[in-house]
Chains A and B, each alone.
Chain A
């Protein structure tokens, strides 16, 4: 792991820098620390930062850029006619990478010398057998173009790695020497170090922006590819979801959207009344003892991982519903074909959302000024009348915001629907039928062997982008409503 050792080297250099810088500063003041502009440790930090930060930044950027650079160079080497029919340049490139990896492994295990690996040619040796020996499985024989490309790939990445090590080490040493040479008893080390630290803090904070950009870009690019392969009218306005890995798929989001919204609706049907009544009771009626007992217990429901709810839906709620509604069931009807259904997933998701609704509404109800309640009670209204006619209208925008946030959670929830909702995409109003959702399809299109050149895989990115936009819209709307409401009373 050369990268690991490189980082270790940087750490060692900066540690040495800290002590070296400190000593030099003290020496330049002839041992009298009071003569220094800053505390001695700042001189140390100065050298340590100069030796570490630029070098590690260069390392990170190099690691990010090198694969892209090599990829474009090598894929340029593969002529268009070398790409077999019903394959793509992407698939050929993944072969190239695998062969290169296999050659590396062969060298590592001593099957080839480094020299042989550089000069190996398809004619003399069975490359595929060699690859098999080191544990790299290849679909078919290695064609000469692929072998050449993978040689180039290896060469480029080896050169790249060597260059990276050199550049990073030089940067680190250079930073060390530069910072070390600047140390003098009048050097304003604290100001410099503090400015550098502030820059680091800003960078850490900007990671949030970077993440968002990463999310949007990664999905946008693949979605663009998807719409290059598949018509966008079918995606947005078609009526069937029928992926077929042999081509000719119908990939429409509408049936998935219907399933998602239906399940979320049932979940909210469970969570909103229960959560809202629980919140009202806890904030308006319950004694301190009941509140301090029931509120944390309810909130446990929110801390349980979704996989637990998924298992609960799959193995407990689903079979229980099936024993009521399925063939040979308790009610003697045949409304349900299996354990998975919209109702199964919706009920369980509703349980998960109860504490979400209740604690958000609890906060909002508590924020309603006491004077409103006192006024209403003073006019002779009963407590429930006060809640229904005074507190609720005052808290309504906040509660709507809470429900919208819960809806956004329900739409983005994955594990419960993957395990409880089923896999059939259809438009149906029967809650006992199994249906599928956007998140379920993302999981099923992107797990297992995926080919990033087929619309059946790429559709997952378009689905993800839609999901992102949908939940983002709901969140922004909810926050807007909540914020607007807060301004009224504060």
Chain B
């Protein structure tokens, strides 16, 4: 009360700094309120910016990638002339194999001419240019068919051929009449022919299963490239990661969480795990190259090596999440088990671990998803480039034969010069993201379904 007694009783009250009425805002209050509103607006703008980026990203991916799931095909009646394919007429498979893909060119030209004549399309194009709207893959496709079915020589068979990537791009709007002025691969007259064939129903755009199941193709044939084989490469890598990272990660977490004494070794392990979690992924690639390939001479480009590298990379993630779910199991469970005479090991393996399993599984799936999208280390161990043209036949092949992986395949397409490959790259991203979304959804469902609150 000293303050009160010291204040002079009769002093005139100081004029109020903040003006007269409380209902009226002083300039200072207005300024402060405006600052408050601005601050809030900044926050909203920041979140909106983040969400807009996400939206742009998603629309770009969907907008540019869906085209890859459709492909232009030309349906043609092809007469498999005996005079060209089997001059001796003996149906000797060795003779038939001697005819190279060049030998099939006249047959394809003939089939195109026949189709043009059948539908009454008038064109000044020569036979070679007619066949130019078809993919370069067509001759090989025809040859494979003939070698598999030599008895069909001399017959007329209906085939569904890939159109060239320019024709495909024209139907999808990527290639326009303006953009082909300087393009020596296609001319305006060929596009007229494409329009006419499309009107006749010979040439149409349909769902492209080959993109999902097929192998990569060389630079000249973007229309034939698919992501299927590299998908298998990714699958085998994920199997390796799952088979190694899950048991090792769980074992390491159990030790650190349940048994480790407080000593320098434990400290050292903990420090190492938290550091490894933040090491750039490319450093793991260098490790893989130096240790697995240069030192141990494991095969280059093999999914096994990729899996080993990704295992080392995902281990910290799995260990961190496993430890969290082990920690979430209340001590009363352990105490109860110990109380009825279980050993510490039994308490952990029989009681704590099963209760922590959903959390461990969730963490593992998230770790796998992270490994599935990783590219940089794979570049260093040679899993990039036009590698595998066939799907592996055995499990050993799948692990050891050179292959690519989905993200590395996407990178490879993005590097190529022909813009037709970009569409493939975006399409590949859609597939990759579908996998990731599925895995993450699975993890969320597992967590929701089995998460237990103690």
| Residues of A that sit less than 8 Å from B by CB | 1, 4, 63-64, 67-68, 97, 190, 194, 197-198, 200-202, 204-209, 211-212, 214-215, 218-219, 221-222, 273-278, 280-282, 285, 294, 297-298, 300-301, 303-308, 310-312, 314-316, 351, 354-355, 358, 382-385, 387-388, 405, 408-409, 411-415, 418-419, 439, 442-443, 446-447, 452, 460-461, 464, 467-468, 471-472, 475-476, 479
Contacts and interface: CB of A to CB of B under 8 A. Distances in A.
B438 to A, nearest CB: 13
Contacts of A442: 282, 286, 380
B429 interface: yes
Interface in B261-275: 265, 268-269, 272-275
B279 interface: yes
B252 A204 contact: yes
Contacts of A204: 247-249, 251-252, 255
B32 A439 contact: no
A314 B414 contact: yes
A205 B280 contact: no
3 closest Cβ pairs, A-B complex:
A412-B280, A281-B43, A305-B373
A373 B388 CA distance: 61
Given A63-B296, A297-B54, A443-B379, A194 B47 contact: no
B54 A439 contact: no
Interface string B287-331: 101110011110000000000000010011001000000000000
Contact of B46 (A215, A277, A385): A277
Contacts of B268: 209
Contact of A67 (B60, B252, B285, B297): B297
Residue of B64, B316, B429 with highest tally of chain A CB at under 10 A: B429
B255 to A, nearest CB: 4
B233 interface: no
A447 B280 contact: no
Residue of A274, A297, A411, A472 with highest tally of chain B CB at under 10 A: A274
Q: Chain A: interface secondary structure?
A: helix
A315 B269 contact: no
A64 to B, nearest CB: 7
Given A414-B282, A439-B376, A471-B278, A281 B47 contact: yes
Contact of A443 (B282, B343, B407): B282
Contacts of A304: 57, 373, 433, 436
Interface in B34-80: 35-36, 38-40, 42-47, 49-51, 53-54, 57, 60-61, 64
Given A215-B286, A414-B281, A415-B411, 9 more contacts: A67-B295, A204-B255, A211-B312, A294-B47, A297-B50, A314-B414, A384-B35, A461-B290, A472-B279
B225 to A, nearest CB: 16
Contact of A315 (B256, B275, B414): B414
B36 A384 contact: yes
A301 B52 CA distance: 11
A355 B54 CA distance: 11
B28 to A, nearest CB: 12
B384 interface: yes
B85 interface: no
A174 to B, nearest CB: 25
B180 to A, nearest CB: 20
B382 interface: yes
Contacts of A285: 40, 43
Contact of B280 (A305, A307, A312, A439): A439
B248 A307 contact: no
Interface string B22-40: 0000000000110110111
B273 to A, nearest CB: 5
Contact of A198 (B285, B294, B296, B345): B345
Interface of B: 32-33, 35-36, 38-40, 42-47, 49-51, 53-54, 57, 60-61, 64, 247-249, 251-252, 254-256, 259-260, 265, 268-269, 272-276, 278-287, 289-291, 294-297, 312, 315-316, 319, 343, 345, 369, 372-376, 379-380, 382, 384, 396, 407, 410-411, 414, 422, 425-426, 429, 432-433, 436, 440
10 contacts: A198-B259, A198-B345, A207-B315, A211-B272, A212-B272, A218-B287, A281-B43, A304-B373, A308-B432, A460-B286
Nearest to B413: A311
B276 A282 contact: no
Contacts of A298: 47, 50-51, 54
Contacts of B51: 294, 297-298
Nearest to A101: B297
A177 to B, nearest CB: 26
Contacts of B426: 311, 315
A315 B421 CA distance: 12
Given A308-B61, A384-B40, A468 B283 contact: yes
Contact of A208 (B269, B282, B384): B269
Contacts of A306: 373-376
A273 B280 CA distance: 24
A483 to B, nearest CB: 11
Contact of B422 (A315, A418, A471): A315
Given A273-B46, A280-B43, A305 B54 contact: no
A209 B264 CA distance: 12
Contacts of B249: 204
Given A64-B296, A467-B282, A308 B433 contact: yes
A97 to B, nearest CB: 7
